[in-house]
Amino acid sequence: MSTVLVPGPVASGVPDKPVGAEVVVIGLGPAGAQWLTPEARTELAAATDIVGYATYVNRVPVRPGQRRHATDNRVEAERAEFALDLARRGSRVAVVSSGDPGVFAMASAVLETRADRGYDDVPVRIIPGLTAAHAVASRVGAPLGHDFCMLSLSDQLKPWPVIAERLEAAAAADLVIALYNPASRSRRRQLEDAREILLRYRKPETPVVVGRAVGSDAESVRVVTLDELDTAEVDMRTLLIVGSSRTRAHGSTVFTPRSY
Amino acid sequence: MSTVLVPGPVASGVPDKPVGAEVVVIGLGPAGAQWLTPEARTELAAATDIVGYATYVNRVPVRPGQRRHATDNRVEAERAEFALDLARRGSRVAVVSSGDPGVFAMASAVLETRADRGYDDVPVRIIPGLTAAHAVASRVGAPLGHDFCMLSLSDQLKPWPVIAERLEAAAAADLVIALYNPASRSRRRQLEDAREILLRYRKPETPVVVGRAVGSDAESVRVVTLDELDTAEVDMRTLLIVGSSRTRAHGSTVFTPRSY
């Protein structure tokens, strides 16, 4: 039942392309082999080339004859163009992402680059994966059990006023909020500001799930309240889930009932 | 790295419980074995009893000695209590859900029932799964590539004004919107109303992904525009993804760029 994305019209003048040349953007799921889907495993095995951020490439088992292109490059568009270029020259390229590649990750970077830099002749498929928020949620119960949103707090690609407006809208509409990219070494202010915005709409005792490196040996998952959330403890590997007015902390579990 | 949810204080008077008795709420992912995680497969094999809506129980391979309790019961709390009761009497019970059990599914029903009906002595774990929105998104590209929300349109458990307010907030904040439970045989008006609300904020040509039974033999995924969306074609097995102002339809792909 794999639906191949039909590539756009082939640009004239492009030489014959080997059969099977394509880019497959693959979600590895959060850290740990327990969440890698059979589909993703099969696609990884069929690739001639693995492309991705070094941390993610290192999660793919080494296979003889398979080339590995681990980059420290933070510019996603460049990594995407590198992959599309390899495929155009005949490779079956797996671009690997942690979690789901369609959530704040490589899938849209590859598709945008394909559309805007003349790679419509290169077929691209996306293989979904478990995104971090659901893994973190499962560790404490079901905080995402009712209407929720997933927002990135990074202002590298969008201006802070847009982020602030979205936080306000989500908070006012009483959605549970999963925060991706809450902070990095240099980016510390955003989470402080976000917490202030949220506290205008949510009670201080609102449960907040602080999940770090879920699925890895370094995993830690803690439940705190919004007013006791220590933003200094949050880094790039952390994902936060902020409860709605209905989210309940009961013993060591946190869940949001479906009824409102 | 499996983190066991520590059960609350054991109620006094509860007799000795066999070791290993627990409820494990397992996400099967959308239809199709390609998205069942190794973790979920292992947990299914270890269960003495499988409990769930018949359609989902039927997706679990039959194992000798394993009891199957397929229900047509639509009351989730009753199914949850049945499972908790079985576990209290010594069973290792797998409650199965399609997709991710933490997204509009059984995980919060089990945890709420456990908290409110005196089952704190029964351990509960949640095994995450791929939720339908990411599978549908992957079929067309990366429409969820930027800030998004997941809303249920069902007004069985929450009043319509709450749903309408959330749609307005999400639309005004320019989030991509995944709509779960958009319609059923008897529930037809909600999607009409939702479309009207969305058209007040989004352009008529906004891409809408209409994904039905993704992963199954009956899968169909189409991309239409918001003004041409035919709500009569939408049923319980359908999930919709409504683009933001930045979502692009390019050839047969749909993606939302990360930059804003």
Q: Using an 8 Å CB-CB cutoff, list chain B residues near A24.
A: none
Q: Is A215 exposed, middle or buried (0-12, 13-18, 19+ CB in 10 A)?
A: buried
Cα Rg of chain B (Å, integer): 20
Distance CA A233, CA A86 (A): 40
Single-letter residue type at A178:
A
Distance CA A226, CA A209 (A): 9
Distance CA A207, CA A229 (A): 9
- Test A115 with B248 for CB contact under 8 angstroms: yes
Distance of residue B232 Cα from the nearest chain A Cα, in angstroms: 24
Q: Using an 8 Å CB-CB cutoff, list chain A residues near B79.
A: none
In the structure encoding, which two tokens stand for residue B63, read together? 């194992």
Q: Note whether A177 and A170 are within 8 A (CB).
A: yes
Q: Is A138 exposed, middle or buried (0-12, 13-18, 19+ CB in 10 A)?
A: buried
- Test B146 with A35 for CB contact under 8 angstroms: no
pLDDT at A18: 57
Distance CA B174, CA B151 (A): 14
- Residue A176's alpha-carbon distances to A199, B28, B122, B164, B203, in angstroms, are 14, 23, 27, 16, 27
Q: Note whether A106 and A56 are within 8 A (CB).
A: no
pLDDT at A221: 98
- Test A143 with B102 for CB contact under 8 angstroms: yes
pTM over 0.80: yes
Closest CA to B93 of B39, B42, B40, B25: B25
Closest CA to B143 of B134, B130, B151, B152: B134
pLDDT tens track, chain A, 260 positions: 333 333 333 333 344 455 679 999 999 999 989 999 999 999 999 999 999 999 999 999 999 999 999 987 678 999 999 999 999 999 999 999 999 999 999 999 999 999 999 999 999 999 999 999 999 999 999 999 999 999 999 998 899 999 999 999 999 999 999 999 999 999 999 999 999 999 999 999 999 999 999 999 999 999 999 999 999 999 999 999 999 999 999 999 999 998 88
Size of interface A-B (CB pairs under 8 A): 265
In sequence order, the 6+-apart residues with CB closer than 8 A to the CB of A224 are A207, A208, A210, A230
- Test B253 with A1 for CB contact under 8 angstroms: no
Q: Note whether A213 and A237 are within 8 A (CB).
A: yes
Distance CA A230, CA B227 (A): 46
pLDDT at B15: 43
Among B100, B139, B248, select the one facing A3 at the smallest CB separation.
B139
Provide ipTM, 2 decimals: 0.92
Q: Which helix (H) or strand (E) holds B96?
A: strand B92-97
- For chain B, which residues score pLDDT lower than 50? 1-17
Among B33, B137, B173, select the one facing A38 at the smallest CB separation.
B33
- Test A138 with B158 for CB contact under 8 angstroms: no
Residue A49 φ/ψ, nearest 5 degrees: -135, 135
Distance CA A193, CA A215 (A): 29
- Test B126 with A138 for CB contact under 8 angstroms: yes
In sequence order, the 6+-apart residues with CB closer than 8 A to the CB of A249 are A207, A223, A243
How large is the angle between the packed helices B189-201 and B160-172, nearest 10 degrees? 30
pLDDT at A201: 98
pLDDT at B12: 37
Distance CA A185, CA B131 (A): 31
Among B107, B169, B174, select the one facing A172 at the smallest CB separation.
B169
Distance CA B163, CA A146 (A): 12
pLDDT at B18: 57
Closest CA to A231 of A258, A201, A192: A192
Distance CA B106, CA B126 (A): 10
In sequence order, the 6+-apart residues with CB closer than 8 A to the CB of B259 are A157, A158
Please name the residue of chain B whose CA is at the shortest distance from the CA of residue A157: B259
SS3 A249: strand
- Test A35 with B140 for CB contact under 8 angstroms: no
Q: Where are the beta strands (DSSP E) in chain A?
A: 22-27, 49-53, 67-71, 92-97, 124-127, 141-142, 148-152, 176-180, 207-212, 220-225, 238-242, 248-250, 253-255
